[in-house]
């Protein structure tokens, strides 16, 4: 699984520019599905048709977003320094003094203006230094409208734990790919949807859910934890298993689906925990409200230090998320 994580993580793709990672995922999903398409927004939709008779198959939509937070180039100074604007919720304390990479492979360092206080680290105080001598030199490598990200990394820690970026939400994509491998003959029609532009408002999942009109929808995304020093109390921890969401600030998950997932986890002895997140949101909300609506839930991967360069997860939790998905969709649990 770690090799797959590295492949998915290391393809830079900010919101609205997801082509690179979509091609990596397409290559993984092609042998596993009956039909693969990309809609007009860029969502990658992989359909595995079910084996149950017509009228007995549900339309199940599983979704994880491909995009990550990042930056667009807005201006190039005469001295060759590059100004930027953020895409998605960027923590500039975490982003300061990091290596960044552009889509064409150009590298630079993201730094604040000299003398900027920590409490004043806003995007307009930052620039990228690619080592250019002047504006003309910089323009040989970079132009207005190019995008870049903090350089992707995966670092192996103790046990089954790894850190790096962007685990949000490439690790959700990994869960879906692994689930597809273990569900070669599902009863239901399963739409594995790798969505775009989640980081800027859950935009991609809206039209894809409207087109699919699922009976059941499950999102896969990272969630915060309460197990670090100074963290607000929260009954989710890294290493505690799959987190079954009840609510976050954007959604109240369908109670019957929460109960079915929880019952499945208990019956199959899959490590799990219950998630109530007092902030944030995922594609769950937009899928729930698309068209005439559907039963919607979320299986979350506990993650420390979200939206930093050292997002930390436990591969045991990832395995639990895969196992829960397979057990729910492969059995009779509804």
At 153, phi and psi to the nearest 5? -145, 155
Nearest to 47 by CA among 222, 180, 243: 180
- Does 198 participate in catalysis according to the annotation? yes
Distance, in Å, from the CA atom of 11 to the CA atom of 105, rounded to the nearest integer, reads 11
Q: Which of the residues 18, 68, 198, 275 is marked catalytic?
A: 198
> What span, in angstroms and rounded, lies between the C-alpha atoms of 206 and 197?
10
- The conformation of residue 283, written as its DSSP 8-state character, comes to H
Alpha-carbon torsion angle 42, 35, 180, 62, nearest 10: 50
54, burial (CB in 10 Å: exposed 0-12, middle 13-18, buried 19+) = exposed
Task: Looking at the chain, list the stretches that DSSP marks H as alpha helix, in order from N- to C-terminal side.
Answer: 2-9, 19-29, 92-95, 135-138, 167-182, 205-212, 255-267, 283-289, 315-330
- Provide the annotated active-site residues: 198
């Amino acid at each position: 699984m770690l090799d797959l994580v590295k492949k998915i993580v290391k393809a830079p793709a900010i919101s609205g520019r997801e082509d690179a990672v979509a091609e990596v995922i397409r290559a993984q999903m092609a042998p596993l599905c009956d039909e693969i398409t990309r809609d007009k927004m860029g969502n990658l939709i992989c359909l595995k048709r079910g084996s149950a008779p017509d009228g007995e198959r549900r339309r199940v939509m599983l979704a994880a977003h491909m995009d990550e937070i990042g930056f667009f180039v807005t201006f190039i100074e005469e001295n060759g320094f590059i100004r930027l604007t953020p895409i998605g919720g960027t923590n500039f304390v975490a982003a300061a003094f990091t290596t960044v990479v552009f889509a064409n492979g150009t590298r630079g360092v993201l730094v604040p203006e000299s003398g900027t206080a920590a409490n004043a680290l806003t995007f307009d105080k930052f620039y990228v230094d690619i080592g250019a001598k002047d504006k003309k030199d910089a323009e040989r490598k970079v132009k207005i409208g190019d995008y870049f990200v903090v350089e992707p990394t995966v670092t192996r820690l103790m046990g089954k734990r790894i850190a790096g970026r962007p685990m949000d939400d490439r690790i959700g994509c990994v869960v879906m790919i692994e689930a597809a491998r273990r569900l070669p003959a599902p009863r239901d029609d399963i739409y594995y949807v790798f969505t775009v532009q989640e980081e800027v408002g859950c935009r991609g999942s809206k039209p894809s859910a409207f087109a699919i009109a699922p009976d059941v929808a499950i999102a896969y995304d990272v969630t915060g934890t309460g197990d670090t020093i100074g963290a607000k109390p929260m009954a989710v921890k890294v290493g505690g298993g799959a987190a079954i969401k009840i609510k976050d600030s954007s959604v109240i998950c369908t109670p019957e689906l929460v109960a079915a997932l929880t019952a499945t986890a208990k019956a199959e002895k899959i490590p799990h925990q219950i998630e109530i997140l007092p902030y944030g949101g995922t594609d769950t909300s937009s899928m729930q409200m698309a068209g005439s609506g559907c039963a919607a839930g979320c299986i979350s991967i506990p993650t420390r230090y979200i939206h930093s360069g050292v997002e930390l997860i436990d591969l045991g939790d990832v395995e639990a998320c895969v196992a829960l998905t397979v057990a729910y969709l492969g059995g009779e649990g509804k």
